[in-house]
Structure 1
C-alpha cells in the first residue's frame, strides 16, 4: 500500500519556529532568557562578592581621594590604573557563566532542552548576552574612578578613551570565553584549568620587559611597570589598536560558541516533528544552515578585526618616538614651558605647567628660612625625566651641575613634597646638585632643617624622607636626584632643632649663615652655632672618604 507521507528522516525541519511566531517574539524570548541568566550570575557567590568588593574599593577611593599621593593624579596613568583589578571580576564571571551553561548537563535536563522550541544556538546567544551587564557595570565603575581622578584640583595630563575601554572589554572577553569553554569542554574542570592556563600564559607574556612587543600585547591587559609618569605623547602605547584587537577577539569567540552549540541533533528534530511542533517540509537543518552561514561570515569579519588589531599593536616604538624620548631626557629645555613665580623660574613639560605654583610655594617656604644671599637667590626649577628606556625606566636622575638649578620630577604629593624641599635646600646651601650630593659635613644639618622646618609635621616628614623610616641613627635621605647621607650625630642635631620653636632657630641660622654653609663645617660646630648639645662622636663621623 502506498503512502503519501514522506519519511521523517528526510523531510523534517528541526529548528523552525512554530508557525506564526515572529522574529520579534523570538528576540524577546532570547532577551528574557539572557536577563534570567544574568540575574542568576549575579547571585553566584564569586561574582557577587568580587563585584561588591570592586565597587566598594572604588567608592572608598573616591571618598578618601586616594590620600596625599592621590591628590595630584596624572591622567595618562589614571586611565591605565583602572585595568588590572577588573580582571578578578572577569575570572569570576568566566567560571560562573561556564557553570551556568553546563547546568542542564549537570542536572540531566539536556534531553528536555532538545525538544524545546528555542534552538540551542539561541540559548548560547542568551548566555553570551548574560555577561554584558557585568561589562557595563565595569564600565560605569571605570568611568566613576577616572572622573574622580580628573575632577581633583591637582589633576593634570590627558586620559585615553581606549585605555579606559580595556577593563570592560576584558570582563566581556572572559565571560564569552566561559561560554565557549562550556561548549567545547562540557566538564566542570574545563573553566578552572583554563583560568590556570591563561594566568600562566599572561604571566609569561608580561613578566619580562625584554620580551617582544607584539607578544606582550597579546594579553588582555598590558600593565607596563612605570616608576615616574611620562608626558602623554611619550607613552607609545597602541591603546586604540589593542581595543580593536579585544573587540575582534570577543566577536570571534562569541561566534565560535554559537557555531559550536548551534544545531539540534536528528533525534531531537524527529521528536519535535512527531509532537506536531515543526512543519515537515524542506531539508533537515535548512534554516539553521542559513543562520550558521551568517554567523560564519560574522566570524570571518571578527577574525579580520582581531588580526588587524594584533598587527596594529605589534610594532614597537617608532624612531620618532625614541628620538622624542631621548630629547626629553637629555635636553628637556627644548620641550619645556617656563613660568616665572616671584624671583625664580619654573620650567616644566606643557602638561605640568599648572603645577608650578605648588613648586613655587615650597621654594618660598624654604627660602624664607635661609640667610645671606640665599634668601633672595634666583633659582631655576626644572622638571626632568629619564624616558630613554620607555615606561620601565628608572626614576633615578643624575644631579645637575648647573648653578642654582633644582630638579623636580613628574610625581607630586605625599613624600615627594619634602623630597623636593630637600632638593631646594641643598642647592641653596651647596650651590648646585652635584656639590650637594658630595656633602658629608655639618651642612647636612642646615639642609635638613631648612627643608623640613616649615612642614606641617616636621618629625613625620623627617621619618618619611629617610629610607629606614626612622628618626634616629644614620640613614639615607631621599632627594630628587642623588640621596643624602645622614650620620647618627647629624640626625640627633636635626631632631633637636625640629622640636624647638622655629622662630628661634631661624634667627640663629640667619645670623650664622656663612659659617653654617661653609664646606667642611663640622656637625659639632653646627651644633654649637645653633645652641644644640654636641653629640658624642660627631667629629669622627664627619670624616669624608677621600
Structure 2
C-alpha cells in the first residue's frame, strides 16, 4: 500500500503532475502501479496456502467437518478483499485525475475492471502453486519467473503480450486518441482473466480432492472460454478502426466542435474541450510576449489533430493544413495551427511537453513577421533575431510552455532546441545561441525581461540583426557561440 500510494499523495502537492490527464488512457495506465498489489496477493495467498503443511497443522484438519476442497474454496474467497482494495485504489487515482485541470477523455470501465481481475488471478496462481508444490522456496522462484514474464510483456510488441496479466499503453503508437478510436481489446482481456481465474482455482481444488464429476466440466468450460477470449484479444485493432483513424487524421472537422474566443477560433474533439483554455493561454501569451511592431496582426485558427502515425500511408504523415484553412470561418485566419492531443505542464522533460513547446513555437512562428513556414518533412533552421523572437514568444507564453522549455533543456544535450508539428517531421530548430539568450531572459524578473523585449519593437527596424546585436539591445551578456557547422536558413 505504501509503495502504491506514497507517490500519489506526493502528487497531490504538485498539481501539474495530475493535470491534463486523458482518462481513457489513464484507465489503462493505472494497471501498472497496481501490479504491486497483485504481487502481494500472490505472496500472501501462497504463504497462507502452504502454512498448514509447513507447521504440521494439516494433520489435524481431517477432524473438521468440511472437506478439504471446500475449506480451500472458502480461503480463496479472501482474494475478493484484494479485488475490492485494488478497485478502490484505481478509482481514487482516476478521480484525482478527473478533478484536475485539463482532464479529458472518458473512463474505460473494462480497463479499470482489469485491476481487480488480475489481482485475483495472481492470488489464485499463488494458491495453485502452494497446493501443487507446498514449498516456500519453489513459490518464490516461480514468482520471480512469473514477474519476469509480466515485465517481458511490457516490451513485447506482439499479440502474445495480451496473455500477460496486463498490457500497458504504448505512448507512441498510436498516441493519444478519442475514446471511440482506441480499440483496445479490454473486454476480451477481462474475459480471459476471468476464465483464467476459474481454471486456476478449479485446478487447485482438484488437487484438494474436489470431485472430478464437478470440477472437470467446469474446468473444460473455463478452458474453452479462455481459448476463445485469448484468441480474440490477440487480433489487434480492426481494419475499420484503423481506416477511421486515417480519415479523422486527414479530416477531423466532422468529429470536432469549434469555439470562437475573442478573434481566434479553436476546434477540438468533444472529449478534449477542456484543453481549449490551455491553447488560448498560449496564443494570448505569444501575442503579449512578442513586440506588436514585429508581429503579423490577425486571428489564429487552432485545430486539434491526431498524431502523424495515424495518417494513411500515402499521406506520409502530412497534415492537410491548406484544406483545413478553407473550412468555413477558419479561412480568414493567419494560419491553421494543429494542436496536439497530449499536454503537460510538469517541466520534467516528458514526451507530452515536447508537443506543448512545438505547438507554442508554431503559434509564435505564425505571428512573427517573415518567418517561413516549414514544408512537409523539413526542419527550418531559424537563427538570429527571428529565431530569438519565435523562441522567446513560445517559451514566455505561459507556465506550461516555460515548463516545457525548461524540461527540454534539462533532458537534452548540446543546448539546441528543435520542435515538430504534432510529432510529424516538419518543424523548427534553434541554435544554442538563441536558446541561451532566451534562457538568460527567463531567469530575469518577469517585468524586467518583458520590458527589455518590448523595447526591441522600436530598436529593431528589421529582423536582419544577428543574435549578438539582439543581446546588446537587450543589455544581456553575449550568448554562447553558435557552432560553426550550424546551417541557418
Equivalent residue number for residue 85 of structure 1: 33
Count of residue correspondences = 453
Task: Kindly report which structure 2 residues correspond to 1:129-168, keeping only aligned pairs within 5 A, or say none.
Answer: 129-168=77-116
Change (3 A) 1:509 1:341: farther
From 240, 247, 255, give the equivalent of 1:320.
Answer: 240
Equivalent residue number for residue 304 of structure 2: 383
From 53, 67, 85, give the equivalent of 2:3.
Answer: 53
CA contact (8 A) 2:344 2:400 kept: no
CA contact (8 A) 1:405 1:427 kept: no
After TM superposition, give the deviation of residue 530 of structure 1 in Å: 4.5
Task: Kindly report which structure 2 residues correspond to 1:421-436, keeping only aligned pairs within 5 A, or say none.
Answer: 421-429=360-368, 430=371, 432-434=373-375
After TM superposition, give the deviation of residue 74 of structure 1 in Å: 0.5
After TM superposition, give the deviation of residue 398 of structure 1 in Å: 6.2
Equivalent residue number for residue 241 of structure 1: 188
Equivalent residue number for residue 219 of structure 1: 164
CA contact (8 A) 2:383 2:467 kept: no
The TM-score with structure 1 as length reference comes to 0.74
CA contact (8 A) 2:337 2:362 kept: yes
Q: Distance in 2 between matches of 1:459 and 1:137?
A: 39
- 2:338 matched to 1:407? yes
- 2:279 matched to 1:336? no
Equivalent residue number for residue 260 of structure 1: 207
Q: Distance in 2 between matches of 1:73 and 1:399?
A: 25
Change (3 A) 1:241 1:530: same
Task: Kindly report which structure 2 residues correspond to 1:149-228, keeping only aligned pairs within 5 A, or say none.
Answer: 149-209=97-157, 211=158, 213=159, 215-227=160-172, 228=175
After TM superposition, give the deviation of residue 261 of structure 1 in Å: 0.3
Change (3 A) 1:375 1:97: same
After TM superposition, give the deviation of residue 238 of structure 1 in Å: 0.9
CA contact (8 A) 1:345 1:379 kept: yes
Give secondary structure in 2 for the equivalent of 1:340. strand
After TM superposition, give the deviation of residue 477 of structure 1 in Å: 4.3
Give secondary structure in 1 for the equivalent of 2:200. helix
Equivalent residue number for residue 385 of structure 2: 442
After TM superposition, give the deviation of residue 432 of structure 1 in Å: 3.0
Equivalent residue number for residue 308 of structure 1: 228
From 487, 490, 494, give the equivalent of 2:434.
Answer: 490
Q: Distance in 2 between matches of 1:468 and 1:98?
A: 43
After TM superposition, give the deviation of residue 479 of structure 1 in Å: 5.6
Give secondary structure in 1 for the equivalent of 2:226. helix
- 2:271 matched to 1:351? yes
CA contact (8 A) 1:176 1:253 kept: yes
Equivalent residue number for residue 117 of structure 1: 65
- 2:455 matched to 1:508? yes
After TM superposition, give the deviation of residue 251 of structure 1 in Å: 1.5
CA contact (8 A) 1:325 1:387 kept: no
- 2:190 matched to 1:251? no
Change (3 A) 1:531 1:197: closer
After TM superposition, give the deviation of residue 328 of structure 1 in Å: 2.9
Bigger mean CA deviation after superposition, 311-320 or 325-334: 325-334
The TM-score with structure 2 as length reference comes to 0.82
Bigger mean CA deviation after superposition, 448-457 or 101-110: 448-457
CA contact (8 A) 1:68 1:413 kept: yes
Q: Distance in 1 between matches of 2:139 and 2:162?
A: 23
Equivalent residue number for residue 350 of structure 2: none
After TM superposition, give the deviation of residue 130 of structure 1 in Å: 2.0
- 2:222 matched to 1:295? no
After TM superposition, give the deviation of residue 357 of structure 1 in Å: 2.4
For structure 1, the 5+ residue unaligned runs are 1-50, 264-288, 391-395
After TM superposition, give the deviation of residue 83 of structure 1 in Å: 0.4
Give secondary structure in 2 for the equivalent of 1:437. strand
Q: Distance in 1 between matches of 2:247 and 2:133?
A: 54
Cα deviations across residues 137-169 of structure 1 (Å, max 9, x unaligned)?
Answer: 111111111122122242111111110011111
Question: Which structure would you say has the larger Rg?
Answer: 1
Give secondary structure in 2 for the equivalent of 1:438. strand
Give secondary structure in 2 for the equivalent of 1:464. helix
After TM superposition, give the deviation of residue 494 of structure 1 in Å: 2.9
After TM superposition, give the deviation of residue 334 of structure 1 in Å: 4.9
Give secondary structure in 2 for the equivalent of 1:382. strand
Equivalent residue number for residue 476 of structure 1: 417
Equivalent residue number for residue 453 of structure 1: 396
